[in-house]
Structure 1
Amino acid sequence: MDVGIVGSTGYGGVELYRLLSNHPNVNECILYSSSLEGTSYAEQYPHLIGLSLENVKPIMIEEMQELDFVFLAVPSGVSKELAQKLIGKKAKIIDLSGDLRLKEPGEYEEWYKGESAPEQLLDKAVYGLTEINRETIREADLIANPGCFPTATLLGVAPLFQHHLVKPHSFIVDAKTGLSGAGRKATQSSHFSETQENLRIYKVHQHQHTPEIEQQLKIWDSGAGPITFSTHLIPMTRGIMVTMYAELTEAHTTEQLHSLYHNYYEGKPFIRLRPTGQFPSTKEVFGTNFCDLSIQSDPRTGRVTIVSVIDNLVKGAAGQAVQNMNVMTGADETTGLHHYPIYP
């Protein structure tokens, strides 16, 4: 297959390149950028010296239309314009931005502060949470790749919401992320002096991933409503830890819930359920497409605690996009993604 990466010079783009350039089913990986076209990719990313010989191309719609896959690793607000020009041609599209995730245009406009994609484009887009929507993804031509926080959150609570074991309005999400989630462009909030030895909460009650999580929860449980979702910036490069709390509808032991999760995720190779009483950390999934989960009930409060960790650039972005490509082509979904975590 010949694939293209639009937005190749960002962190999501270079992570896609790392995965796709080593993918056994990919013949050529073509790099596009609207700002750094004509430059050597290895000049932009010196860790690729001697490995990458590609130059970054300007965005070329007609050329991209004839590729097998195009990955849009561009900011929200940009990808919907590109997707409209590519849809209906040979190339299948996997969009890593937030432009196509929300099915209600008004929600996008409220949370992303911009004009929504046309409804006909939103209707075509399949939400690419691979473990949940595999059969629909298999037949899709356009994928809305989930956000990093929604991926960790939704995989963490899918069994509970689908089996109606928690009271939806009690659901609280406490999420923490590394600095690479903010992208490559330097800002004051990502400056070393501002982040080192510091922990900061941000976008309180305003994070754009909130409606994405709520949208999927309502599909699973029609009684689901607004959630409390808090995000924090941690002075590390990669990783997301989401700690979730909810009130159980009736008493369940940790062992019962662990068995539910084991059965639910059986046969899903990138979900690793930790043994009862063991909790994952972000370093244990570093550089991989794994989502590690742990669950424990508290009989004293009647609540359940779920911990979910992912690498935000892999399972939270590029890795899940490649996983979706594998499913769309009928390949084993682990193809090109079976990496051991980098540790320590």
Structure 2
Amino acid sequence: MSITVPAPDPALAVGLDCPLRVLDLDGSRLPDALLDPHLTDIDESALTNLYVDMVRVRRLDTEAFALTRQGHLVLWPPLLGQEAAQVGPARALRTEDWVFGSYREHAFALLKGVDLAEFANVWKAYAHGGWDPQEIRMAPAQIIIGAQSLHATGFAMASKLDRSDDVALACFGDGATSEGDVNEALVWASAFQAPVVFLCQNNQYAISEPVRVQSGTPLALRPTGFGIPSMRVDGNDVLAMHAAARIAFERARSGGGPTFIEAVTYRRGPHTTTDDPKRYRDEAELEEWTAKDPIDRVERALERMGANMEAVRAEAKIRADELAKELRAAAEHAVAPHADAMFEHVYDQPTKRIQRQQAERRAFAASIEGNR
């Protein structure tokens, strides 16, 4: 018995040869027949809002990095350089839509309305998940690489069964595409035509492993083997990312099934604050991508539109500094939970094993106190 396995279908993918882009590096608008119809409402005011969002996200990122170095946070995975890849799709979501992210989706958390005190608790290791997922419509940060793609697909399948038009967004990096979980999610999403969008932020490195080692073809080609349409997009172009996300969300909402978006971007900082990227990449590469900065590109676009950039920058700085101040206060004044809190909410009702572990911890703590 022979089984014929279909090859990836380039006809299902767009942007394979050159990622889709509508904002050139100098800020000029480039025509794109696919994306332009989904950007007709983006005027100077809307673009300014996207610019302010990205400035705020970057300020949050740099402040959290500093707080980690100063001992107020335990760990931080920076997103410097990836602001457009997240802000664009985040602003295309409806309030009811769900986000299932990894540990680097800080822009989604901010724009979804996560309380900064709850956000800081996650990175102080004071909380299992931080915010209330049901309230925010965003799942807790997922550390297991790619697992969130299955969670998103499961939610999307349930949404379809409920005849809801709520959409799930799964966010992961290039390295996750090599994980079984992501490929399993693609299988289920395709088979059930689930309303889920897979956003792969290809930041060029899976920790220290360059994407060229992970795949000999564009990552956007992989989902076509599952029959899922995909778009390969300039991840440093916030308008292209916004339009691509709108297309994908509309397809999912109208019963068209899943879409895969590969956002070609770059992680300019370390993988986390425990990483040293100088060990696996050179300065020339970093300089090349710094020249493609997503915020600078929007600044140039606004200047071309005649915006008062001095006023725009000033307003963005005020709002970004306020955000950083709020995050710092939350991190510095956070109160550690009692030790038994680690056993709470593991299950709806505590199991005998959990109760035994809790008793053992209490006995150990009491023995230490008794020897002082």
Higher helix share: 2
Instruction: Say which one has the larger Rg.
Output: 2
- Which structure's relative contact order is higher, taking Cα pairs within 8 Å and 6+ residues apart? 2
Common fold by TM > 0.5? no
TM-score (structure 1 length as normaliser) = 0.31
Higher strand share: 1
